[in-house]
Chain A
Amino acid sequence: MNPTDNHYPTGESFRKSLNGRYRIASIWQAIFFSALLIALLSLAALLYNVVDGAFGYVAFEYKNDPTEFTAKPLDDLNKQELLEILQTNLSSGAYTKLDNEKTMEKRSKSVLYTLVLERLIQVDTKKTWSMTDSILRGNEIKAEVAKKYPEAKLEFRSWLTPVFLTTPMSSKAEFAGVRTAILGSLWMVGIAILFALPIGTGAAIYLQEYATKNFLNRIIQTNINNLAGVPSIVYGMLGLAIFVRALEPFTSGSMFGITDTNGRTILSAGLTMGILVLPLIIINGQEAIKAVPDSLRQAAYGIGATRWQTIWHHVLPNALPGILTGSILAVSRAIGETAPLIIVGASTFISLDPEGPFSKFTALPIQVYQWTTRAQTEFHAIAASAIIVLLILLLTLNAAAVIIRNRVQRKY
């Protein structure tokens, strides 16, 4: 080929071929953009679906007329008056029981108000509507209620309320809350991280800083990577076999003189979740340790540091933000897991706050799962509210991870 020959298009034909290239580029750009759009739309649909369920009209009747208990409108009663109504109308046995659970005087006004509704007036929910229906078909709904349930009151309400967050479980959707479930989830996650963080970090350090690249260690590494992808239900089976059954004396607390539980405790659930997130914590920890540059290790070794001094004073402090961020993200996976908890044996109905690692427990996803399987639509509404609580918890954890990552910026 003669170097002076020109085999490239010039002038008009160059411009034409360039336009062709631009056309292909813009087609691909449109394809990538639609991919993004689909992803965003599905996210929006998910959020909309949850929010749609948690707000809306509800038609309900009072079984007992409020005027039987008080002359005033219910909403105008103060705390003292509510207390008196409960005292005079509840059977003394029922009142003492409530008082023993938590002193009545110490309960807030909204809690007492709820008790009056739940125990005395007794609300009977007839029907609930989604937020969209409530907004778009308000008049139709009003007409329907007037015709079908002439006695009923119609109210636009948010099922997600402060009371919802602070009341325990109840068999009536109107009075059920997620307090027990939130506490259960937090206990569980706490135990999981206390268990998995030190072990996971230790394993990551070993694999990254000590293990030589031999056959055995490669197998271990591969298996850890695979374990991170094992379906969570398998971890549930493991937890059932090991923590609930084999280690029952420990997990039930009978070793420590606690007698009223079996192995299906918060401790078992927390340890199961700990094992579930362990591979993720190890892998994230390894990545964080890998990100510490070798030049730093060499600097330390070069002035006579031992391996341990190098790890403890340089590798670990510099990897710590990464390790913490990775662990929080791993744990935020655990908080939404349902399957292992069902297998390990979360209680579906429990109204007492967990008192410690040896308590029976429930957790947010269990509550959601349980409520969505009920036939009455009001349970679907509180399930949606519980999902919102779960999502907020997740976002808080993820935000914490991002904040840690940004606060401690890379120094090297």
Chain B
Amino acid sequence: MQTNETPEYAIETKDLSIFYGAFKAVSDVNMLLEKQKITAIIGPSGCGKSTLLRAFNRMNDFVPNSHVTGEILMRGQNLYGSNIDPVEVRRSIGMVFQKPNPFPKSIYENIAWGARINGFKGNMDELVEQSLRGSALWEEVKDVLQKSAYELSGGQQQRLCIARTIAIQPSIILMDEPASALDPISTLRIEELMQELKKNYTIIIVTHNMQQAARVSDYTAMMMLDKEGSRSGTVIEFSETKRIFTNPKDKRTEDYVTGRFG
């Protein structure tokens, strides 16, 4: 058990800047993210929230000419170190995308594929059931596991994507506006699910929805273009969610969370 005095950290960024070619999209982010907590990243459009999130599991590697400076440390290792394989990073830091993107395969196969390619040796049926229970989808699909994932509703598809992610047992789950394509009821279910998942996983979520950030997250990182005229985004304030929403240090944060800005 962890105590309040010595929180455990899942991941840490040190002077992290992210570039697309010569353009610095995110500059100088220093954050310590606590284990088994939900951290929300909020901020106006284009300030680099998705860019920062994708840096955590090296999804930005697929953008030609992108690179980072600084470090992202996990268990003391720099994820961008030369001895680190990005595939290994993505295996332990899973990602759920804004738009549900199940594979055009059966529900069962959507979960089994990721397990299989990562060399899973246990009982596949059990894993599928466990993952679907974990994402609160089991009761709805247990009789139609062979149905195409494309026949599910958007909200169900998103929960399937979460199931697919937790099936490979990552330690961190990244979510980029996971509920923005969903109706309020599906959104609520995802939010409840996150509270469940937090018992086992560290979650970082990007959201545009202030209420959502306030409802679900323990910590909040406020991002903004760092100064007038610059197009680089940075984290201008990072602390407990309660604080960000009730007593922010930065005037811009206050303006943003109270809806007077952005």
Contact = CB atoms under 8 A, between A and B. Distances in A.
A297 B101 CA distance: 10
Contacts of B117: 303-306, 309, 313
Contacts of A299: 97, 101-103, 161, 164
A48 interface: no
A212 B65 CA distance: 9
Interface residues of B, number: 27
Nearest to B114: A303
A157 to B, nearest CB: 55
A302 interface: yes
Nearest to A312: B117
Interface in B81-104: 87-88, 90-91, 94-97, 99, 101-104
Q: Binding site of A, secondary structure by majority: helix, strand, loop or mixed? A: helix
A296 B57 CA distance: 17
A295 interface: yes
A212 B62 CA distance: 10
B179 interface: no
A412 interface: yes
Contact of A296 (B62, B96, B103, B118): B103
A303 B168 contact: yes
B113 interface: yes
Given A303-B90, A303-B165, A304-B168, A411 B104 contact: yes
A127 interface: no
A102 interface: no
A220 to B, nearest CB: 16
A299 B150 CA distance: 14
A398 B60 CA distance: 42
Contacts of A296: 101, 103-104
Nearest to A214: B64
Interface string A273-314: 000000000000000000001011111111111100100011
Contact of A213 (B62, B64, B91): B64
Contacts of A293: 101
A313 B150 contact: no
Nearest to B164: A303
Interface in B206-234: none
Contacts of B95: 298, 302
B148 interface: yes
A318 interface: yes
A302 B53 CA distance: 12
A305 B86 CA distance: 10
Contact of A212 (B64, B97, B161): B64
Nearest to A313: B113
Contact of A304 (B64, B104, B114): B114
B236 interface: no
Interface string B129-167: 000000000000000000010100000000001001100
A304 B90 contact: yes
B32 interface: no
6 contacts: A299-B102, A300-B103, A303-B91, A304-B87, A306-B117, A313-B117
Interface of B: 57, 59, 62, 64, 87-88, 90-91, 94-97, 99, 101-104, 113-114, 117-118, 148, 150, 161, 164-165, 168
Given A296-B101, A303-B164, A305-B117, 16 more contacts: A212-B64, A293-B101, A295-B97, A295-B99, A296-B104, A299-B97, A301-B62, A301-B90, A302-B94, A302-B95, A304-B91, A304-B114, A304-B168, A305-B114, A309-B117, A314-B103
Q: Which 4 A-B pairs have the closest CB atoms?
A: A304-B91, A411-B104, A303-B114, A295-B101
